[in-house]
Structures are given as C-alpha cells and as structure tokens.
Amino acid sequence: MAEPAQRPPRIVAELGRPETPSETAARKAESSRIHRSSQTLRNLVVALVASLAIVLFIVLVVVRPDGATRAPIDYRSVASQSQPTVSQTLAAPKLPSKWTANSASLETGADGIQAWSVGFITPTQQFIGLVQGIDANGSWLSDEVKKARSTGTVTIDGTVWTVYDRRSASDPGNYAYSLSTVIGASTVVLHGGGSTAEFRTLAAAISTQLGRDR
C-alpha cells in the first residue's frame, strides 16, 4: 500500500526557507492564542450587550415612579363623598387651574385618628402632600413631620403655621419643607418639595376654606 504523501514544509517568506518544527509549533500556538482571545472578547461583548438590554428593560418596564403612572383625580369629589363619615370639614380647597392631585383618601390609623390625605402636583411639577388629622394629638403631628424640629412660624392670610425647613438636609425626600397648623379640631400638615410660594398658595386656600366652614 502506498504511503500518503506528506505535505511539504511551509516556506517562511521572511526567511526564504522552510519552517523548522519548533517554528511551526510556535506559529500554531500563537494562532490558537489569538483565536482564544478573539473568542473571549466576542463573548464579553455579547454579555455586555445582554446586560444592557436587561437594565433597559427594567428601567422602561419595571421601575416606574408611582407618581408618573397616576392620572389626575377629582380630589374635591372624593372629599365630598368622604365627608359624611367625619365630624370636621375635609380640606379640599379650590386651587388655580395648573394644580392637580394624583391621590386622595380618608383612612383611620392604628391610633384611631382619622386622616384625610391629598397628594398635589404643583404648577412646577413638584409634590406637596396635605394631611389633615381629625382630633389629632401631638404624637400624631410629630409622626407626620417625621419628628422634625420647628424652624419658626409664618402667618399666611391670618393663620399661623409652624415651619419645618429641612431643605439643607442631605436627603429630606418629600419632607424638605413642611407646614402645620390647627384649625378647629383639625391638625393640618403640608409637606413636600414645592417652592415657598407654592406652599403659601396651598396654605392660604386651606385657611380660607376651613376658616369659612368653622
């Protein structure tokens, strides 16, 4: 039986002679290394693209702020429907047209205190929450302002409000600025990130409504 023909040695152009066995082995080893490096880089790119796709999916589909998904609601209508169940007039002031609300509810806490809450979105797209405690006590108020200390008082349309200014804090959240007052048997707390002027607008409207209905 005839033996298979052997491949002639590879001619190295730079040297003008056939490769030696050691040069052939070195060339093949380098070729394998380059191939493995290329595969590793390709795998890293694929993994990175997949990771970015997952993050984008989470941001667009899963993680959405509650406020962004809530449609404006008629808080005055909700207040009217809830009014028969409480002894005090619920704060539902009439506000300028660019003000909206994205939440409104009347709940009774573990302490037995009924609390009316409205989440307002101001004309500058900032949040100001209104919480009205019926026959509330000092402990309830402390909880509603997150145990912040008073930083002064301000009189708005004849009503004195206690100020809790924490705008210089590192992360005050929705309690960067708060106001509280007592009107009749109601303790009213405003809190959020709106401007001082926006807080004054809301506070004045509440004072006008609740003061008129006393």
Q: What is the mean pLDDT of the chain?
A: 85
- State yes or no: pLDDT of 30 exceeds 90: no
**191 DSSP β-pair partners:** 129, 178
13 pLDDT above the threshold of 60 = no
Nearest-angstrom CA–CA distance, 75 and 32: 71
One-letter amino acid of 214: R
Average pLDDT on 73-89 reads: 96
pLDDT at site 79: 97
Q: Is the pLDDT of residue 64 over 70?
A: no
Strand partners, 121: 100, 127
When pLDDT is cut at 50, 70 and 90, the band that residue 2 belongs to is low
pLDDT higher than threshold 90 for residue 172: no
The model's pLDDT over 180-205, given as tens digits with 9 standing for 90+, comes to 999 999 999 999 999 999 999 999 99
Q: What pLDDT score was predicted for residue 154?
A: 97
Q: Is the dihedral of CA 66, 68, 72, 75 positive or negative?
A: positive
Burial 68-85 (b: 16+ CB within 10 A, else e): eeeeeeebbebbeebeee
CB 182 within 8 A of CB 191: no
